[in-house]
Amino acid sequence: MAIRNILRDSDGRLRKKSRPVERFDERLLELLGDMADTMHKADGVGLAAPQVGILRRAVVIDIGEGVIEMVNPEIVWKSGELVDDAEGCLSSPGEYGMVKRPQKVKAVYRDRGGVRRELEGEGLLARAICHELDHLDGVLFKDLASEMLDPEELG
């Protein structure tokens, strides 16, 4: 697999809505593998295809329990809230903001083979799912932040 360049938040492509994945083929498998490698190399917990310049609805997430690949994901249920917690993004290195997210979510998506799956996430996983799916609609965490934090205050 290859490490891809991560777009910075000033790149206009990150503001575009991604198109659904229609073909579950070798190109998709390569993209998902490259995204996972890129995310791990950058010490992230999630990466969306638009962040590597591909405007397709695909994300990878790894909160320390193994890579989750989500193709054409959609959140179908939300519950509770994580009250303003610090959030960052690989497209905005060194920047953090306070973002309110659901405590729990349920998402439906396709796996790399096109099989429909469901995933319930809580806490960090719920936050990562919401954050990455926002990227698919051209939304950055800074758009949702109630305040941006001084990196020196984070220690």
Other Cβ atoms less than 10 A from the Cβ of 96: the count is 21
Residue 31 CA to residue 85 CA, distance in Å, equals 30
131 marked ligand binding residue: yes
89 marked ligand binding residue: yes
| Alpha-carbon separation of residue 78 from 43, 106, 130 (angstroms) | 27, 7, 10
Catalytic annotation, residues: 132
3-state secondary structure 125-138: HHHHHHHHHHHHCC
Residue pointed to by tokens 């796996």 = 111
Which residues make up each annotated binding site for Fe cation? Answer: 89, 131, 135
Which residues make up each annotated binding site? Answer: 89, 131, 135
